[in-house]
């Protein structure tokens, strides 16, 4: 079974930086895309950034220019470098994999349990 494990969340002051990582494990054959979503209290889950297997990226408008997504295909790991953090970035950040092909399944989506990022002013 495919599982995602996120790490790197924590408390940081406004203007600071954090780097999140997410590693997918299991009998994985391929992953079409990996990314990050976030959900703040009282708000809907929103796209932060995604990156495809060929390296195409897409960012949410609120993080463009501040966050950078990258991945290590060999390790089935995706990273999110977050710079110039603002209090509005406070949320639980969830790792997402899309179009995962594994030994037992194909075209599956998986979610991590989330890692909390808190930005203080």
pLDDT in single tens digits along all 121 residues of the chain = 899 999 999 999 999 999 999 999 999 999 999 999 999 999 999 999 999 999 999 999 999 999 999 999 999 999 999 999 999 999 999 999 999 998 988 899 999 999 999 999 9
Helix (H, G, I), strand (E, B) or coil at 83: coil
Alpha-carbon distances, residue 94 vs 14, 97, 121 (angstroms)? 21, 10, 23
Residue 8, phi-psi category: left (phi > 0), alpha (psi -120 to 50), beta (remainder):
left
**Phi, psi (deg, nearest 5) at residue 4:** -120, 135
């Amino acid at each position: 079974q495919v599982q995602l494990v996120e790490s790197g969340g924590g408390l940081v002051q406004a203007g600071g930086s954090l780097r999140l990582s997410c590693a997918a494990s299991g009998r994985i054959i391929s992953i079409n895309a990996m990314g990050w979503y976030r959900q703040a209290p009282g708000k809907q889950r929103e796209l932060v950034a995604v990156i495809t297997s060929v390296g195409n990226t897409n960012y949410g408008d609120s993080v463009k220019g501040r966050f950078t997504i990258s991945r290590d295909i060999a390790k089935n790991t995706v990273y999110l470098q977050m710079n110039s953090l603002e209090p509005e970035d406070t949320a639980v950040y969830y790792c997402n994999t899309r179009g995962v092909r594994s030994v037992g399944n194909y075209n599956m989506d998986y979610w991590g349990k989330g890692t909390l990022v808190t930005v203080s002013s």
